[in-house]
Amino acid sequence: MGGRWVRVAAGVAVVVVLAVVVWLGRAELPATWRALGQARRDWLLAGGVLLVLWWASWLLTHLACRRVTGVGGYHEVLTLTPVTLAAVALNLVVKSGGLAGLAVFAADARRRRLTTGGVTGAYLVATLMQEVAFVVVLLASTAVVVADARITKVEVAAVVVFLVTTALRVAALVAAARSRELVERLWTLPARVVDRLLRRPARTHDTTAADELFEAMQLLRRDYRDAVPALGFALGIDVFGAAMLWASLAAVGGGDRPVVALVAYSISAVFGILGFLPGGLGFVEVGAVAVVASFGVPVGVSAAAVIVFRVYEYWLPVLVGLVLSWLLARRWGRVSGSDRQRARR
């Protein structure tokens, strides 16, 4: 019951935020609709191609990390394509720091009888690679706006907060990779908190998955050069993400300057990460429009470009991913039913 009310409240919050954004920009609506109506199809098609490359970067990042940690590799491309796209969608609709998608990978691991800890380790390494890659892109775009004196105090504060929180998360993961005991403590922390809240007596928790996670991290520590392909693919996620905004700008007549798209993508992504709504709804839109407009693009055209961009970067991935999640759940359910029937025989 509580979970349902949380989802309802989140849905209401999304609607309210989007309504406020539209209301505040109502004077620019005619220009926005006009720009959308006159959008160039060739650039829209280019945006679609870039979306496919963006998806491919997510998939290759996970495949490379599974190869490094020894739980799979590039040969899983067909199996993990729907799993990865479903995980991306879950991460977009659930505010979890990128961990919601782990549920899909864990379910796939159980179905294929893979080690849960190893799969979890590969997923966390992929998450780490994505964060490091985004920091690289963010620092590059921040240097551009600082040199051009376009960054505001609010944007500076958001960037600093993001960099600090990311540094802490990376430091925690690196520290955990050096201590099996620390990994086990972090792994069992949620269960221990629940025990304390429910006033249960102290008990021993299963740390098998934590041990497998630690071993996966040791494989990465042996030679960090093995992680270079994964980091390169993770960098592609943000490169193609910024390119989708670039194509969106060009489609609606906002110019085809890659630097504008890169800066707007990076700064708006920070606001989206720090925002309290899933997928950064409202925060990304407002941040991206503000940054694009600061480069001299009319506000109405900026809004049109961001609308197109969010269709590529949020709404289409969510729609495709949730459909794949449903299809995977049905397929896995049928497989489980068949296994139970064979067991009875």
Q: What would the DSSP string read from start to end of 125-142?
A: HHHHHHHHHHHHHHHHHH
CA–CA distance, 310 with 317 (Å, rounded to integer): 10
Q: With 70 as the cut, is the pLDDT of residue 152 above it?
A: no
Question: What local confidence, expressed as pLDDT, does residue 247 receive?
Answer: 97
The DSSP output letter for 201 is: P
CA–CA distance, 139 with 137 (Å, rounded to integer): 6
- Can you give the pTM of this predicted structure? 0.80
Q: With 50 as the cut, is the pLDDT of residue 343 above it?
A: no
Query: Do residues 30 and 303 lie in contact, with contact meaning Cβ atoms separated by under 8 Å?
Result: no
Range in 86-95, 100-109, 135-144 the model is least confident about? 135-144
Calculate mean pLDDT across residues 10-26. Answer: 63
The residues, any chain, with a CB within 8 Å of residue 292's CB and separated by 6 or more, are: 249, 254, 260, 264, 302, 305, 306
Q: Across 72-76, 154-158, 192-196, 208-212, which has the greatest mean pLDDT?
A: 72-76
Q: What would the DSSP string read from start to end of 279-334?
A: GGTTHHHHHHHHHHHHTT--HHHHHHHHHHHHIIIIIHHHHHHHHHHHHHHHHHHH
Task: Delimit the domains of the chain by residue range.
Answer: 29-333
Spacing of C-alpha 116 from chain mean position: 21
